[in-house]
Amino acid sequence: MNWFRFKEAADGTYSPPAGVQNAAKRALKWIAEGKAGSGFTSVGRKRASQLASGSPVSRDTIARMKSYFARHTVDKQATGFNSGEEGFPSPGRVAWDAWGGDAGKAWVGRINLDDKKGKRNDSNHSNDNNQDDSNN
């Protein structure tokens, strides 16, 4: 394993990569268009705004994001989650992107919260946390 430090600010926060910001911006557009559904929460709106703006993300928020993605990965199987499907974007897709989308899941998955310094494991040094998952 090749470990190196993830970009953690001195105050213990992380800056969301471009792909995460793009997914959240897409979600904000869909929210404004009324596509989020009646169950969409103020927490989802807040997270989308935070990530879209590139505002710093705390370790606690990273942990909440990891938890969100663990619970909601199954939502990707629903009709309307992917572009071209009937009902796209589904409320589940809007929420997924509000939390950073596939890029967000990849990003937080590389942050090791067990290590105070936020080490990252990325043996091939790929930059897929900046991916734009708009075609998913």
Count of domains for the chain: 1
Task: Indicate whether 135 belongs to any domain.
Answer: no
What pTM, to 2 d.p., does this model score?
Answer: 0.81
CB 19 within 8 A of CB 129: yes
- Domain span at residue 71? 3-124
Model confidence pLDDT, tens digit, residues 63-94:
999 999 999 999 999 999 999 999 999 999 99
Q: What is the pLDDT of residue 117?
A: 55
Task: Indicate whether 133 belongs to any domain.
Answer: no
Task: Indicate whether 129 belongs to any domain.
Answer: no
Task: Indicate whether 136 belongs to any domain.
Answer: no
Model confidence pLDDT, tens digit, residues 1-45:
333 345 678 888 999 999 999 999 999 999 999 999 999 999 999
Cross-strand partners of 3 = 121
d(CA 5, CA 50): 23
CB atoms within 10 A of CB 29: 15
